[in-house]
Amino acid sequence: MAVEKYSASMDAETLAEARKAAEDQGVTLSAWLAEAARDRVRLLGLERLIKDYEEEFGEITEEEMEASRRRLYDGPWI
């Protein structure tokens, strides 16, 4: 994969936390930030999916969220 160099600015506390997280995972800060950006792009896609769903079927209720949590966390899993 081709890479492009860039420069970014952030507050010192966030940068220190990002450096520590990267070190804890044994990756470079650049690799950690790239993965964080990929994660954010995926989240934006999920937000769009939810928005599209709710536009078609209405807002997802707390009851529907709880039912989904139960299915996700309580199985049954093979």
pLDDT in tens, 13-57: 999 999 999 999 999 999 999 999 999 999 999 999 999 999 999
Task: Domain count for the chain, please give it.
Answer: 1
Q: Which two tokens stand for residue 13?
A: 């506390």
Confidence of residue 1 (pLDDT cuts 50, 70, 90): confident
Per the structure, the complete domain to which residue 57 belongs is given by 14-73
In whole angstroms, give the CA distance from residue 12 to residue 35.
Answer: 20
Of 14, 36, 38, the closest CA to residue 25 belongs to: 36
pLDDT tens digits for 54-71? 999 999 999 999 999 999
Burial 9-35 (b: 16+ CB within 10 A, else e): eeeeeeeeeeeeebeeeeeeeeebbee
- Is 67 within the bounds of a domain? yes
Inside any domain, residue 4: no
